[in-house]
Amino acid sequence: MNEKSIRHNYLLQPAIALFDLVVITVSALLLSLPTRAFLIFAVYSVFAWLITTVGFGFYKVYRFTPLVRILGLISRQIFLVLLYTLSFFGIFNEIDIELTDILNYLLVSLLIIALFKILVFNLRKKFRTRLGADYVRVVIIGRNAKTEKLRDFFNYNRAYGFKMLQNFDLKNDEISLGEIQNYVLENRIEEVFCSIAELSNSEIKQLIDFADNHLVKLKFLPDNKDIFTKKMDFQYYGYTPILALRTLSLDSPINMFLKRLLDVIISVLVIVGVLSWLTPLLAVVIYFDNKGPLFFKQLRTGLDGREFYCYKFRSMAVNSDANKQQASRNDCRTTRVGRFLRRTSLDEFPQFYNVLMGNMSVVGPRPHMLSHTLDFASQIDKFMLRHLVKPGITGLAQISGYRGEIETKLDIKNRVRLDIFYVENWSILMDLRIIAKTFLQVIYGDKKAY
């Protein structure tokens, strides 16, 4: 498995979006509106801002996005804000307000937002060039006019945050595709750029399978060959067109923010509303049923293949096989209280602490113990793709009947199939539907909960 460098860029765009919302709300005080009118306008502005920024991609700014593109996004958003602000006061024409107040509001709020966006863009570039941090390690496969342009882009635009380690030439260098793949793993390469013109279809498919199984991002310099994948995204690195393999909904900072917001809200509600009284109660019951710790913790595989401790209420007697042997029906290690906890899924509730800490989500592929991850990754093609998102307390596979003990290879294949479908087709509505169905399963019982 490819252990990726840990960066926190995924927090940046949501933080900028939150800053923008605060600015447009606080700046509305310049309008000197009555309290009721101010509240209506503030709510209207927040929703209008979110709809226009998400709909027109205001926050779709990547490390390779040029300044001119950012200025274009700012200009378009200024026009949209003018449009929806003037529309508001046209609809609510009974509100007595001076045009100069509206212009002051627009000038102050939009100027702050525009300057802040440009400031962040430039600070990130200086952060990379001066500190040598926040770099993505990349290699290029192929050597021609297109790859030379891309290589020059990486070498002469260090501020964009790419560190090119190698440019491989399969035709002229004495190197095989397998050796390149080993180099990628040994040097923790995160993105591989390939010239399609210099690869056969079988080599392209081999690279796609390799990238999927090792969580490496694969991108292509386009040609007229077929590419065996479902989702491609057209991007520009300087003036060089690039096709990115497998773009995900959760690559969007706004979608990540919405999912994280849902996670925090639900986990806080459960921790305060349920675990605050359930934990001390179970501490007594579990101790008198079978002496030992209240919580069971186990290293499991999470986002990008990173390890984390997953917490549960202890449902088994303390044993040496906990990290090797999966629980099964009528498992002799399960305690009397443990059988009740597992049947009602209460043993999983401490994972809401994992959600609040950020190493799990309410919805996502279920995390496996480390030994199982190694076994399944070697047996099931594209198994590691499920680690492109945070693991969840519940998931699409679990509500579809694939919960509990893995008895056959077909069981894990079907789980992985549904997990990958979730990863590639995520939406906030899908999460809400899975949560609702999970709630019903907990209420009415699940025969595979044991």
CB contact at 8 A, 195 and 97: no
Q: What is the pLDDT of residue 23?
A: 92
* pLDDT of the residue at 329: 62
Q: Output phi, psi for 162, to 5 deg.
A: -115, 135
Instruction: Give this prediction's pTM.
Output: 0.64
Which residues lie below 8 Å from residue 390, measured CB to CB, with a gap of 6+?
A: 302, 303, 358, 359, 360, 361, 364
Report the pLDDT value the prediction gives residue 378, as an integer from 0 to 100: 86
Q: How far is CA 422 from CA 55, 258, 363, 395, in A?
A: 22, 16, 10, 8
CATH code for the part of the protein at 136-247: 3.40.640.10
Q: Is 222 left (phi over 0), alpha (psi -120 to 50) or beta?
A: beta
Strand partners, 194: 141, 220
Any alpha helices (H) in 132-169, and if so which ranges?
A: 145-156
Q: Are 76 and 70 in contact (CB under 8 A)?
A: no
CA distances, 19 to each of 27, 106, 403 (Å): 12, 16, 41
Handedness of CA 93, 97, 102, 105 (dihedral sign): negative
Contacts of 398 (CB under 8 A, 6+ apart): 366, 438
Nearest to 240 by CA among 140, 326, 96: 140
- The pLDDT of residue 235 is 67
Q: Which residues contact 59 (CB under 8 A, 6 or more apart)?
A: 13, 16, 17, 53, 252, 253, 254
Residue 196 is classified by DSSP as G
DSSP state of 334: B
CA 324-329-332 angle, to 5 degrees, is 70
The tokens of 341 are what? Answer: 């906890």
Q: How many CB atoms lie within 10 A of CB 346?
A: 18
Domain with CATH 3.40.640.10 in the chain: 136-247
Residue 241 confidence (pLDDT): 64
Taking 70 as the pLDDT cut, the residues of the chain under it are 1-11, 132, 223-243, 245-246, 320-331, 446-450
Angle between helices 12-27 and 253-270 (to 10 degrees): 80
